[in-house]
A and B are shown apart, each in its own frame.
Chain A
C-alpha cells in the first residue's frame, strides 16, 4: 500500500496475539506474498490481500529444483567416473525436469 507524500512510517504500534493467531497471520502473509508487516498494515487499513495463486506450485518447483541440482551433480560425477549406472541418473534428471515443465 503506497505511502502518500513520501510520509515516513515512523510510528510503531503493538498488537497482542495468541501463538495460534500469530501463526495464522504469518501463514496468510506468506500465502499472499507479503511480509508480515505489510500484510498486517494493509489488513488494518481495510485491504484484503489476496492469496497468490502460484504459491503452492512455486514451492514445489523450488524443492524439485534443489533436488534436480543435486541429482545433476551426482549424474555428472557418475559420468566422469565411468559409473555403469550413469545413464540412470541422467534419465531420472530428465524426468524430473519434465515434471517441472508440466507444473502449471
Chain B
C-alpha cells in the first residue's frame, strides 16, 4: 500500500473532481463512496458541510487533508478491506473523529481510495511533518 498526502483549502472543487474527473471520464470512475462523521455519503454535499465547518475557524488556512491510498493491481482488496485500511490509517494519524469523505476509484488498474479529511481546529493548520508527501510509508 502506498499513501500520498497533501493539504489544500478547496473542499467542494476537489470533491467534484474526484466524482466527475476533468472531462467526460465520469462514467465508471467511482467504485464507491463513504464518509465518516458526516450526515451523508454524498461527496459534494459532505465537502460543502466540511467547508462550512472549517469556516468557523479562521486560523486554519488549509483545512483539507487529501490522502490517497493505493494498492497494488494484484492486491485482492474489496471495499470492506479498503475501508478497513482507511480507518486504520485515520486512527494511526489520530483523525478517527474528523469529518472524512472517501471516494474509491475504479479508473486505474490499481485500486485506490481518496480521503478528504477536514483538519480539526485542535490540530492547528494541518498535520505534523512526517505525514506529508514523501513521508508516507511504502509497504
Q: Are A62 and B48 in contact (CB under 8 A)?
A: no
B46 to A, closest residue via Cβ: A65
Contact of B53 among A62, A93, A96 (CB under 8 A): A62
Residue from A30, A57, A58 with most neighbouring chain B CB atoms (10 Å): A58
Contact A59 B52, CB 8 Å, known A33-B58, A101-B45: yes
Contacts of A29 in B (CB 8 A): 58
- By secondary structure, the B interface counts as loop
Tell me, yes or no, whether B40 is within 8 Å of chain A by CB.
Answer: yes
Contacts of A62 in B (CB 8 A): 49, 52-53, 55-56
How far in angstroms is the closest Cβ of chain B from A91? 13
Contacts of B53 in A (CB 8 A): 62, 65-66
Q: Are A97 and B48 in contact (CB under 8 A)?
A: no
Binding site for A on B (CB under 8 A): 37-40, 42, 45, 48-49, 51-53, 55-56, 58-59
* 5 closest A-B pairs by CB: A68-B39, A61-B52, A65-B49, A58-B52, A58-B55
